[in-house]
Amino acid sequence: ESTGESVDNALRAVVQALGILIGFGWEKSFDTAVAEVSEWTRVIPESVTKLVLALLIVLLVVPAWRLYILPTIVLYEKMEEEEEREEKEEFDEARTRALESGKTLEEFEALEVPLLTRERSSKKSHLIKPISGLEAVELQRKVKAYEEQIASLEEKNRGLEASLQEFVAELNELQQMADDLKQPA
């Protein structure tokens, strides 16, 4: 409640990653223990010892998982489903308010729906908007202004590159002078 949604998502990802790492750690521990015990036991064959130990581990771990871990996972999944349902309801309400206020669906999506979550349409014709004569003239004017700005920036860039080359040459001269002063006469 006191952190934002992005912080909550990041924390969930970190906790899940740590959970996976802990799981791999336990798996490696059990595997090493089974291997060591099966090598140490000489009464029955090693493969039978590994099978018996694996069954014992299952009998030990599965009930604990079922009683403690599984109910927690189910609770978290229910909480996440409830959060998603609430977010969808809020989104639907906002869309309804926008449409009632006279906005089109495209205007609402442009303002409210993140780009990466928008549904992709197989038809792209809705993206192409006819340009009126006035809009075309305005676009041509903007293109011309941008081209002039690019030319101006390229000229400035050439001047800065020349200044930089002069500066590097002066630094090289200063370095040479410093090296000459370091040498004993």
pLDDT at 20: 93
pTM over 0.75: no
CB 50, CB 33: distance < 8 Å:
no
Q: Are 38 and 50 in contact (CB under 8 A)?
A: yes
* pLDDT value of residue 110: 67
User: What is the pLDDT at residue 134?
Assistant: 63
Mean pLDDT by 10 residues, the chain (185 residues): 78 91 92 88 87 90 92 91 89 81 71 58 51 72 91 93 91 88 78
Give the pLDDT of residue 30. 87
pLDDT at 122: 46
